Structure 1
């Protein structure tokens, strides 16, 4: 599906991080009718710098503007000078022309310097490939 560049902001109890990411979605084999499976690869830049990888399950018909997805993505890198990793749980719905996208850090998923991390990331896609938070 190609790459998209988006801006992102991660908010937690104590900090706000800003940056961009490039994402690539590749179809993966899946045997359940009506559900598409995609492999996510992502490069984060900015206050959060590193690599992301995950799996997305989607349903609906994006061509008609009605669809939804869930995904889990692991991120390994550096956040505001702290090295480690964590997982995002993602949720998105589309009812044209509106989209609702939400990322939450999975509780207990933080490693190394990022152990105990919590927070959310909200995206608003603009022009199909740029997002603000």
Structure 2
């Protein structure tokens, strides 16, 4: 985080649709990794959409790992723009471990140009919520 601006917090929920994608080249087929598209709708302090791509390995229920890139477009605390999130997680014994979601540096646009931060996601009873700790330069 940038020390010249104060840390802010955003919370809310999101709906997500994950769709399997087919490999589109021999190298992707040979890797045997799962490729998925992400479509999200954020509600709360983040209002907008997220679109992305995920690569996964393992069964996703008891063990595995994934990486993803997601572009958010909408508003954060009333400020309009877009930014990119990078996701990384491991699944060990059915529980997420080392789950990180960070804003890609310098990916913010418009009123979110100076955005930096990290997000956590919780899933309970099939509902997804987020907590986003971020900073914006004035």
TM norm. shorter chain > 0.5: yes
CA distance in 2, matches of 1:131, 1:77: 17
**Superposed CA offset, 1:51-91 (max 9, x none):** 1100000001224x001100000000000010000000001
Structure 2 vs 1, CA of residues 45 and 131 (structure 1 numbering), >3 Å: closer, same or farther?
closer
Unaligned runs of 5+ in 1: 1-11
1:23 to 9, 12, 16: 16
- RMSD over equivalenced CA pairs, Å: 1.8
Structure 2 vs 1, CA of residues 110 and 132 (structure 1 numbering), >3 Å: closer, same or farther?
closer
Alpha carbons 1:13, 1:118 under 8 Å: kept: no
Alpha carbons 1:70, 1:91 under 8 Å: kept: yes
CA distance in 1, matches of 2:46, 2:65: 26
CA distance in 1, matches of 2:49, 2:130: 20
2:32 to 34, 43, 52: 34
Unaligned runs of 5+ in 2: 24-28, 132-138
Give the Å deviation of 1:108. Answer: 0.6
Higher helix share: 2
Partner in structure 1 of residue 70 of structure 2? 73
Structure number with larger C-alpha Rg? 2
Alpha carbons 1:70, 1:89 under 8 Å: kept: yes
Give the Å deviation of 1:122. Answer: 1.4
Give the Å deviation of 1:98. Answer: 1.6
CA distance in 2, matches of 1:130, 1:96: 21
Give the Å deviation of 1:29. Answer: 1.4
Alpha carbons 1:102, 1:123 under 8 Å: kept: no
CA distance in 1, matches of 2:30, 2:114: 36
Partner in structure 2 of residue 123 of structure 1? 121
